[in-house]
């Protein structure tokens, strides 16, 4: 199956919108889970990334699904519109370009200081 054609989308808009909504939430959950790879353990040792994704996805309720962002393009080519380009997941919390504030210096007061 190829990308979603314009006529197919117009005929089954609700269906395709919902399928893309599910895919968006799966991809977003997958991106979040990948940030914890190698850092999650259970009684038997490190939890595999696929197991963690499956566990998290089973706990997401359909009423909790988020709407896809406007500039998102699904990884699955069957869920892309024929006019969309390659897969793209916009970064939501990219803080790499944000400069932190100035450093904080803590100074203790002398014990003989009368203002204490």
31 within domain boundaries? yes
Q: How confident is the model at residue 1 (pLDDT cuts 50, 70, 90)?
A: low
Identify the CA nearest to 82 among candidates 90, 91, 73: 73
Write down the pLDDT at residue 22. Answer: 92
Model confidence pLDDT, tens digit, residues 55-91? 889 999 999 998 988 888 888 888 888 887 777 777 7
Write down the pLDDT at residue 76. Answer: 85
Q: Give the 3-state secondary structure percentages of the chain, helix then strand then coil, rounded to 5.
A: 40, 5, 55
Write down the pLDDT at residue 90. Answer: 72
Write down the pLDDT at residue 42. Answer: 74
58 within domain boundaries? yes
36 within domain boundaries? yes
User: Residue 33's domain spans which residues?
Assistant: 23-72
Over the chain, what is the mean pLDDT? 80
Structural domain count of the chain = 1
1 within domain boundaries? no
112 within domain boundaries? no
- What angle (nearest 5°) sits at the alpha carbon of residue 93, between those of residues 86 and 22? 50
The alpha-helical segments, DSSP class H, found in 3-87 are 6-11, 13-34, 49-58
68 within domain boundaries? yes
């Amino acid at each position: 199956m190829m990308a979603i054609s314009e006529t197919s989308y117009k005929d089954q808009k609700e269906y395709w919108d919902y399928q893309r909504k599910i895919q968006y939430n799966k991809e977003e959950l997958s991106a979040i889970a990948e940030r914890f790879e190698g850092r999650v353990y259970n009684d038997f040792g490190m939890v595999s990334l696929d197991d963690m994704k499956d566990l998290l996805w089973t706990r997401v309720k359909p009423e909790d699904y988020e709407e896809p962002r406007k500039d998102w393009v699904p990884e699955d080519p069957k869920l892309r519109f024929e006019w969309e380009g390659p897969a793209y997941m916009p970064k939501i919390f990219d803080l790499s370009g944000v400069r932190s504030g100035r450093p904080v210096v803590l100074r203790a007061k002398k014990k003989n200081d009368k203002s204490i």
